[in-house]
Amino acid sequence: MIAVSIAMKTNHEPLKRTPVALWLDTEENPSPPVLTDREGWARFDASAASGKVLVSGVERYQGRLDGEIRIELWSITQSERSSMGLPGEFPNGSNAYPGMSTRSLEVGGRAILTDSEGYLVDPGDWSEAFARAQAAAEDLSLNARHWEMIRFLRTHFARHGTQATVREMIAHFRPLWGAEVGGNRGLHRLFPRGGPQKQGNRLAGLLRTKGEH
């Protein structure tokens, strides 16, 4: 069961009869919308997964969908969340460093600049389409677990301003996926080109980790 609460940020008043839909990363389309009840809750008979929550057709949350998810809005007409879709701030501008060689990756008809390994020069260029395109360039087929890691990495960076360590990734995913898949070897099998701290960060649009230049 996944339950989503929608309320106003200013006074915590629940929003009634508001359409809410889940869009799982494994699905091509969102679920049929469910209207919130008097307490502002919309409930779905669905198992935990990685994906998004759409409120009135607008993305308001992305990450692991499990248990209770509480979403507060400044207004019911506030602008759609950016592709980052997370609290906190990501770095802006250029991540160029001395001696950097660059290449371009076509994403949705637009040339996105990365370094020679695929790290974004401008983190603001990140989108889910970029993650898919970069993964394809690295011969990696993204599944639900890849997307869950990508969302975890972006959430961690937005909240803490630093990249997650492999130890933090294991602490998060081992209870969810089990010791074999969520452990160090399992995470490196999931991201075979440098592990989650390198390949994962590239696909998540984050920076190189210290010492990689």
Pairing of strands 19-24, 49-55: antiparallel
Coil, strand or helix: which one is 196? helix
This prediction has a pTM of 0.65
Spell out where 19-149 has E strands: 19-24, 34-35, 41-44, 49-55, 58-65, 67-73, 102-107, 110-115
Burial tier of 18 (Cβ tally within 10 Å: 0-12, 13-18, 19+): buried
pLDDT tens-digit readout, 106-131: 998 888 888 888 998 888 888 889 99
> What domains sit in the chain, N to C, each tagged with a CATH number?
2-72 (2.60.40.1120), 102-203 (no CATH)
How large is the greatest C-alpha to C-alpha distance in the chain, in angstroms?
Answer: 59
The answer to whether 146 touches 203, Cβ cutoff 8 Å, is yes
d(CA 55, CA 60): 6
Strand 41-44 and strand 2-8: the pairing is antiparallel
Asked whether the beta carbons of 67 and 30 are under 8 A apart, the reply is no
Spatial CB neighbours of 110, under 8 Å, sequence gap ≥ 6: none
- Using DSSP's 3-state secondary structure scheme, residue 203 falls into helix
Alpha carbon distance 173, 145 (integer Å): 10
- pLDDT one-digit tens code per residue, 155-212: 888 777 788 999 999 999 999 899 999 999 999 999 999 999 999 999 999 877 654 4
- The residues facing 193 across adjacent strands are none
pLDDT (tens digit, 9 = 90+) per residue, 48-84? 888 999 988 888 888 889 999 999 876 555 555 443 3
DSSP per position, 159-189? HHSSPPPHHHHHHHHHHHH-HHHHSHHHHHH
Give the pLDDT mean for 39-55: 92
